[in-house]
Structures are given as C-alpha cells and as structure tokens.
Amino acid sequence: MKILVFEQNGSGAQKIAGIRRFGNPDDTVTLVDIDARLPEFVDQPEDYINENNMDGDLVLNYLTHPDLSYYLIELCAKKKIPVVSSGKHSDKGYTPFTCCGLGRHKKLGSYGEKFGFPEYRVELEGEIIKDIQVIRGAPCGASWEVISRVIGVPVQEALSLLPRLVQYHCTANPGRFDPITGKSPVHYAGYAHRAALKKAVDQAKK
C-alpha cells in the first residue's frame, strides 16, 4: 500500500515514526513536509500542494493550516483517494476525533487494519495481566509503547494505569475540547485505550 503523508513543520513526526515502526512492512510511506512560513490566509494552496504528485492509495492529513487541509481533502475527493484527517471537519474523508478513534473501514486497507481504535489481546493469570499484545493501535505508537508497564499488574490497577500512560505519549492538542463531550483529544485517547483493555480482559475471562 502506498501511503502519502502531508505534514507541516514536523507536525506528524511521531505518528509517521509509529507507522513505519508498527505498520505493515510492505507499505511505503512518502512524506510531504510543508515547512514554508504561511500567511494567515492561503489564497493559492496549489502553490504548496502539487496535484500531479498525488500518487497513493491513502492520504494522511496532518496539515495544521485550515486552508491547506481543506484543499488537500477536496483534492483527495476529486482523485478518489481515501484521506484520514483526524480532528478535522469534512464529509469528504475520514475525520475521527483522534487518530486512535478511527473505526475499521475497508477502503483504508492495511493501514486501517493496523491503526485506529485500539484492540488488545490479553492473557490473564487469575486477576493479573500475564501478557498483552496489540492487534490495532494508535499511529503515534502509544498503544505499543505502554503495554510492558501493565504486565504483572492486577486488572483493576491496569485499567487506570494504561490510559494514564497513553496520555503521556499522546501528541494530540490537549486544548482542543469536544464541545459535546467536554473531553480533549488526550482524554479521549485514554478513554479509548481503557475501553480496549476492558474488552480484551472480558474476552480473556470467557
């Protein structure tokens, strides 16, 4: 799978590193980093995003300037390339509240199989977590980075420890609150991982 990533001034660096480390090794990740100093309003976004270079099976939108982000989403829709734009608002792409809030969608291919709303597999020894594996996780890598810290930990303690550790790793903007839930992306990331761990524990007890 060809994944085309757009970022500004390193805005997606940790996620890109996570995708390369934990993603499908057969996937190729091409980075387009826009590091120019931008005006408040970009009247000609095509000066920064070359339509002719849009060669990929999936686009990840980590752009921070709203004009460039809007143009990129419109361009992907025109070219029929799926685009994931976490934290953005559009009906022409996949726009979860956070990267770890992305549901499963067939059009997202191997990326969608590996990244999005977290999924764990847990092995228990009584009420102690004996082993834990990541089936699907956050592209920033937090889902994988924290699991060693909950091995050997009682389930109830792990259900508060793991989401707290994830929040330390989260790269989302903690000041961007959802007006409906009142949660920030960092809070949401912790909640998503707690829910995933709880589900894995319940499955392990069956």
pLDDT tens-digit readout, 47-82: 999 998 898 999 999 999 999 999 999 999 999 999
What is the rounded distance in angstroms from the CA atom of residue 197 to the CA atom of residue 149?
13
pLDDT tens-digit readout, 146-161: 999 999 999 999 999 9
What is the rounded distance in angstroms from the CA atom of residue 64 to the CA atom of residue 6?
10
User: 3-state DSSP call for residue 141?
Assistant: coil
pLDDT of residue 115: 98
| Residues 49 and 72: beta-carbon distance below 8 Å | yes
CA dihedral 194, 197, 201, 202 (to 10 degrees): 60
CATH code, 2-95: 3.40.50.2300
Residue span(s) of the chain under CATH 3.40.50.2300 come to: 2-95
